[in-house]
Structure 1
Amino acid sequence: MKFNLDERSKKTVYIGGLVAFIAIAIYFFFSNFEVLKVWVNNVFQVLMPFVIGFAIAFLMNPVMMMLEEKVFAKLPFSKKAIRNISAIIAVIFGVVIVGLLIFVIGNQMRDSLDQLLANYDDYLKTFEIFMQDTLNFFHIDQAEMQSILESSEDLLGDLLKNIQTYAPTIFNFGLGFISLIIKVLVGIIAGVYMLMDKERFIAQFRKLNQAIFPSKVSTFFEDFFPVLRRIFYDFIVGKALDSLIIGIICYVGLELLGISYAPFISVIVGVTNMIPVFGPFIGAIPGIFILLLVEPIQALYFAIFVFVLQQFDGNILGPKILGDKLGIPSFWVLFSVTVGGALFGFVGMFIGVPVFAALYYLTKQFVDYRLAHKPTQEDTEI
């Protein structure tokens, strides 16, 4: 028996089937989340070199284009040769910059850690005196506190005695570091190839997009990916510049306040500032812990300073650099950082914001499209 459906009925069946499919997909996703998370992590580890290569090509593309169009354009070489030279130099430039940053920051952190370990006994005595004065001031039972301290010392002693049990972990960390170096090297090579054949990859993507999706959908995706590129590029570059400025301001401020280990602590604050919202507070924790050993009053000054610095960054500096480029309200920034961190740790806290901004843009486009076909519309922006 053959059923003939009119256009309205076909549309209803299509929408109903789509809703059912989405509901089943959501149920499957959450019911198998842990399994999917492990699977995604394994796939990500396999593809890590190419992810690194794509990131390098993505960030170094403006440098390559500048070299190709402004510096090497008049060289008596073919366009392909100029492109290859520009791609190689752009990637080398990026690697050198990152290498110099790692070298400078690594030396500073090593010197600070050496100084901290050399003075550790003196700092520990200072902290013990501070704790003793605090106990006396608040009339806390010293015997009970002494018992807690002795238990902590016993726990630390047991940890040191059984350090050999952590040898496999340390060994695995060493193997993981070697594996990471290999992945980075492969990623650098992949990044060079991606830059050299950029137009070919883009053309292949367009063909695949047009072959899979209907014309309207494929056209939408072609319009969307430049927006996606802008979101990620503006966020990464803007946040890096913002964090660099915050790190410099933190260093100058700590030096003016006479706080110990200003360079070391400022590096931590600057790096963790790449994480939106919670970054400065995460970076403040190691600094407060270190300063509690050095001189507890400095820890208080530092905590107040970081709070003021975070307010300056969140309300003045950050909006000036990033502006409204992400196109999402502050609430959704907080939401994306929290959810991203819960799912994928520190990486999720950082990458969650641009990912959610892209999803937010897609949702807004879909809602606007649907409302355009409704008799009444709300004026509220989403």
Structure 2
Amino acid sequence: MDLNRRNVKKIMFIVAFAIVLFLGLQNIDNIYTFFKVVFSLLSPFLMGLCIAFILNVPMKFIEEKFFRLGGKHDKLVRKLKRPLSLVMTIIFVLALIFFVMFIIIPELGNTFEILQRNIPVYIGKINSWITELLVKFPELDNWISTITIDWNKVGDTAFSFLKNGAGSVLNTTFSAATSVISGVVNFFLGAVFACYVLLQKEKLGRQLKQILYAFIPEKKADETSLKPSSHRVDKFLSICSLANKTFSNFIAGQCTEAVILGLMFFIALSVFQFKYALMISVMTAFFALIPIFGAIISMFVGAFLILMASGPMTALWFIVLFQVIQQIEGNFIYPHVVGNSVGLPSIWVLVAVTLGGSTMGVLGMLINIPLFSVIYVLIKGAVGERLKEKKIAPSSIQ
């Protein structure tokens, strides 16, 4: 290897990277604590960016549909469209949440009231069932009579638990209350920050581009090529634009899929005359935004409601119907709706959901689909360029 300036820089970079990596591994605990503190400080702003990204999808739609330019009041429309669109978006989201809560919470309250009213009946049925069981299996009665309980020992154990565990319970309660308050404060700070970001997103985008162009060096042109030099920032910004478009389409596709699933459940539950058809359908559509776990939550809540209202057999048939609809939606509708919205084939949607769930849980499922879509588009474009350079037509490869 020739020790010219370029190779010396590479060697120095490798040595410096090795030293930093060694020191990092030696102080991994301190580094983890440092990043944890930094993340805790930045969490309201990161939450605000996530909220802004989600709200930007309906806000952009409202701007394009309700505040079009092209009239004599263009100047006034251009000045007012952003704040009015943001206010309309917030009102729409709050109205949607209120609608869901207005349908679900009263029905849950009625169900718990029915449950409380029927508790004596349930206790009587359980006592009858236990009596019949003991009559059929007398050996159970003999076995139960042989069980002895040392009440002094039970009392000592309970006293010891109260003595030693009171402080722990108090600390846990205080930590939980502090965590809840901190989460609420962070959410409101993030919501305010999101409003500022949405109101000035173009200005913030220009400032970010200026910083990137100012501090990232240009990519030198290939001496053997006549192509002009290109800036690394252009490549980076094109990838960011692709990611933004993909994630926005994913959010829109996820909401579309939730509406379709809710309509499917409402039609099926209404046809088979299940109670709480509207409430269960709305709840299922709302929880469909959470892959896998949302379906489990809505199924158990719906089965519990129907169990209280119509009995165990009807609840069992509801679970069977729920699973049938869920399988149809998960294997046929979801890959096509969400896959088409992000430009990802159905098979890769299934792979993305599976890998995301096994590595990062619910968050991995939500992130992996648009992330896989970005990677898929980049690889597809790179393959197309390579084939074009080699003068090979993709259709000629069998």
Is the CA contact 1:269–1:283 (under 8 Å) kept in the aligned structure 2?
Answer: yes
| Equivalent position of 1:207 in the other structure | 210
The one-letter code sitting in structure 1 at the alignment partner of 2:355 is F
| Equivalent position of 2:93 in the other structure | 98
Secondary structure of the equivalent of 2:255? Answer: helix
Deviation at 1:107, TM superposition (A): 1.6
Is the CA contact 1:340–1:348 (under 8 Å) kept in the aligned structure 2?
Answer: yes
| Equivalent position of 1:335 in the other structure | 355
Deviation at 1:142, TM superposition (A): 6.6
Query: Hey, what's the Cα distance between the residues in 1 that align with 2:383 and 2:41?
Result: 33
Is the CA contact 2:252–2:341 (under 8 Å) kept in the aligned structure 1?
Answer: no
Is the CA contact 1:340–1:349 (under 8 Å) kept in the aligned structure 2?
Answer: yes
**Residue range with higher mean Cα deviation, 32-41 or 254-263:** 32-41
Provide Cα deviations, 1:79-132, integer angstroms capped at 9, x if missing partner. Answer: xx4333111121111111111111121122221121111111326845984894
Query: Hey, what's the Cα distance between the residues in 1 that align with 2:4 and 2:179?
Result: 65
Secondary structure of the equivalent of 1:286? Answer: helix
Distance 1:146 1:337, change over 3 A: farther
Is the CA contact 1:248–1:266 (under 8 Å) kept in the aligned structure 2?
Answer: yes
Query: Hey, what's the Cα distance between the residues in 1 that align with 2:143 and 2:277?
Result: 32
| Equivalent position of 2:226 in the other structure | none
| Equivalent position of 2:148 in the other structure | none
| Equivalent position of 2:43 in the other structure | 45
- Point out where structure 1 has 5 or more consecutive residues left out of the alignment: 148-153
Deviation at 1:233, TM superposition (A): 1.0
Secondary structure of the equivalent of 1:228? Answer: helix
Aligned counterpart for 2:280 among listed residues 243, 265, 287:
265
| Number of matched pairs | 345
| Equivalent position of 1:4 in the other structure | 4
Pair 1:179 & 2:185 matched: yes
| Equivalent position of 1:118 in the other structure | 113
Provide Cα deviations, 1:48-103, integer angstroms capped at 9, x if missing partner. Answer: 33442344235412322333425xx424353xx43331111211111111111111
Provide Cα deviations, 1:202-261, integer angstroms capped at 9, x if missing partner. Answer: 322322333325344322122222211221111101111111221232233223333343
Distance 1:68 1:104, change over 3 A: closer
The one-letter code sitting in structure 1 at the alignment partner of 2:357 is V
Distance 1:298 1:4, change over 3 A: same
| Equivalent position of 2:313 in the other structure | 297
The one-letter code sitting in structure 2 at the alignment partner of 1:99 is L
Distance 1:142 1:347, change over 3 A: farther
The one-letter code sitting in structure 2 at the alignment partner of 1:57 is N
Provide Cα deviations, 1:132-176, integer angstroms capped at 9, x if missing partner. Answer: 49x96xx899779999xxxxxx9xxx9xx9999586467547634
| Equivalent position of 2:223 in the other structure | none
Deviation at 1:335, TM superposition (A): 0.6
Query: Hey, what's the Cα distance between the residues in 1 that align with 2:58 and 2:384?
Result: 32
Secondary structure of the equivalent of 1:119? Answer: helix
Normalized against structure 1, the TM-score is what? 0.70
Deviation at 1:277, TM superposition (A): 4.8
Query: Hey, what's the Cα distance between the residues in 2 that align with 1:45 and 1:198?
Result: 20
Is the CA contact 1:57–1:194 (under 8 Å) kept in the aligned structure 2?
Answer: no
| Equivalent position of 2:81 in the other structure | 86
Q: What does 1:338-349 align with in structure 2 at a 5 Å threshold?
A: 338-341=358-361, 346-349=362-365
The one-letter code sitting in structure 2 at the alignment partner of 1:62 is F
| Equivalent position of 2:290 in the other structure | 275
Query: Hey, what's the Cα distance between the residues in 1 that align with 2:281 and 2:124?
Result: 26
Normalized against structure 2, the TM-score is what? 0.67
Secondary structure of the equivalent of 1:69? Answer: coil
Deviation at 1:270, TM superposition (A): 1.5
Distance 1:109 1:143, change over 3 A: farther
Aligned counterpart for 1:239 among listed residues 254, 262, 267:
254
Distance 1:171 1:373, change over 3 A: same
- Point out where structure 2 has 5 or more consecutive residues left out of the alignment: 146-153, 219-229
Pair 1:109 & 2:99 matched: no
Is the CA contact 2:43–2:186 (under 8 Å) kept in the aligned structure 1?
Answer: no
Query: Hey, what's the Cα distance between the residues in 2 that align with 1:374 and 1:43?
Result: 51
Distance 1:175 1:198, change over 3 A: closer
Is the CA contact 2:263–2:281 (under 8 Å) kept in the aligned structure 1?
Answer: yes
Is the CA contact 2:246–2:374 (under 8 Å) kept in the aligned structure 1?
Answer: yes
| Equivalent position of 1:252 in the other structure | 267
Deviation at 1:273, TM superposition (A): 1.3
Is the CA contact 1:337–1:353 (under 8 Å) kept in the aligned structure 2?
Answer: no
Distance 1:178 1:331, change over 3 A: closer
Is the CA contact 2:114–2:308 (under 8 Å) kept in the aligned structure 1?
Answer: no
Is the CA contact 2:44–2:189 (under 8 Å) kept in the aligned structure 1?
Answer: no
